[in-house]
């Protein structure tokens, strides 16, 4: 998934397919001992603005890297952000990843509505893959600094 030498590459959770049979694929994932960001926020509460700024920059860098490769994640949310031993964010769960080719339309919705771009919820058959990642990335900092603002409708009223 990553191009050697890329700084943003370090922010994507790497995996190696170890074995595959007719029913299963066995993968070994990079270890992120801090767990996912949602469980961290639920256990510890809001994080500092400085820490949120660092995480936001890391997320933006990783998303920019994926978009430069014409890849849309389409499911950025706290549960898909893992924390490593150095308190860095690692994006994981690439199950909804899609190549974002110009003019290509998506006929199916995927991801979490709480993080979805309003355009995605209103229009079916859209090619807004990259906008979806951008909107999801913008919601994440609010959720780590203000965890009580989890509902997208409440968030939109606050903004």
List the catalytic residues.
75
3-state SS class at 122: helix
Torsional sign, CA 131, 89, 146, 152: positive
Q: Show the DSSP H helices in 34-111 as ranges.
A: 37-44, 49-68
Report the run of H or E that residue 19 belongs to, with start and end. strand 15-20
Q: Which of 121, 106, 108, 109 is nearest to 152 (CA)?
A: 121
């Amino acid at each position: 998934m990553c191009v050697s030498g890329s700084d943003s590459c370090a922010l994507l959770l790497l995996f190696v397919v170890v074995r595959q049979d007719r029913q299963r694929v066995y993968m070994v994932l990079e270890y992120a001992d801090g767990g996912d960001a949602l469980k961290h926020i639920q256990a510890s509460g809001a994080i500092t603005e400085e820490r949120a700024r660092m995480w936001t920059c890391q997320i933006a860098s990783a998303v920019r890297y994926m978009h430069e490769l014409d890849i849309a994640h389409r499911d950025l949310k706290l549960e898909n952000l893992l924390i490593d031993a150095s308190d860095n964010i690692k994006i994981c769960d690439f199950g909804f990843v899609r190549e974002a080719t110009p003019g290509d339309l998506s006929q199916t919705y995927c991801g979490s509505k709480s993080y979805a771009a309003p355009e995605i919820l209103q229009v079916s058959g859209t090619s807004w893959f990259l906008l979806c990642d951008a909107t999801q990335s913008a919601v994440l900092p609010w959720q780590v600094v203000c965890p009580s603002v989890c509902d997208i409708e409440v968030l939109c009223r606050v903004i």
